[in-house]
Amino acid sequence: MVKPFDPVSRPQHYTSASIECIEAIAAQLSPDEYRGFLKGNVCKYLWREKQKGGLQSLKKAEWYLDRLIAFEEALVTPVESPVRMDQETIGTSFYEKAKQTAIPDA
């Protein structure tokens, strides 16, 4: 089932290709660069929320922060994160990497 477009988590202009833009960006960057990208976007959307975007900017900042938290948790404890650590939230390529390094259930 194809998920509907959403201006925060699935904007149409970023999901029109076979892979989402965020996944292509993650694939091109080192882990440190990707972390900086996520953190920079959190800052950008928080910075501009009063002048542009309002609540939608706050939701976009939250979306990037959720990805940053999931990314950090996967690096520290490679088990499924309680913070929206799912394929839809963090992207297919990162999700697959996290699953490969996960600590198996006992």
pLDDT tens-digit map of 9-38: 666 655 555 777 888 888 898 899 999 999
Flag whether 11 is in a domain: no
- State residue 65's pLDDT score: 94
Flag whether 43 is in a domain: yes
- State residue 26's pLDDT score: 87
> Within its chain, how far is the Cα of 90 from the centroid?
4
Which residues, given as ranges, of the chain have pLDDT below 70?
1-17, 76-106
Flag whether 37 is in a domain: yes
- State residue 61's pLDDT score: 93
- Count CB-CB contacts under 10 A for residue 1: 3
Write b or e for each residue in 77-93: b if 16 or more Cβ atoms lie within 10 A of its Cβ, otherwise e: eeebbebebeeebbbeb
Q: For the chain, what is the domain count?
A: 1
Flag whether 10 is in a domain: no
Flag whether 21 is in a domain: no
Residue range of the domain that includes 86: 32-100
Read off the tokens for 24. Answer: 């292509």
- State residue 4's pLDDT score: 62
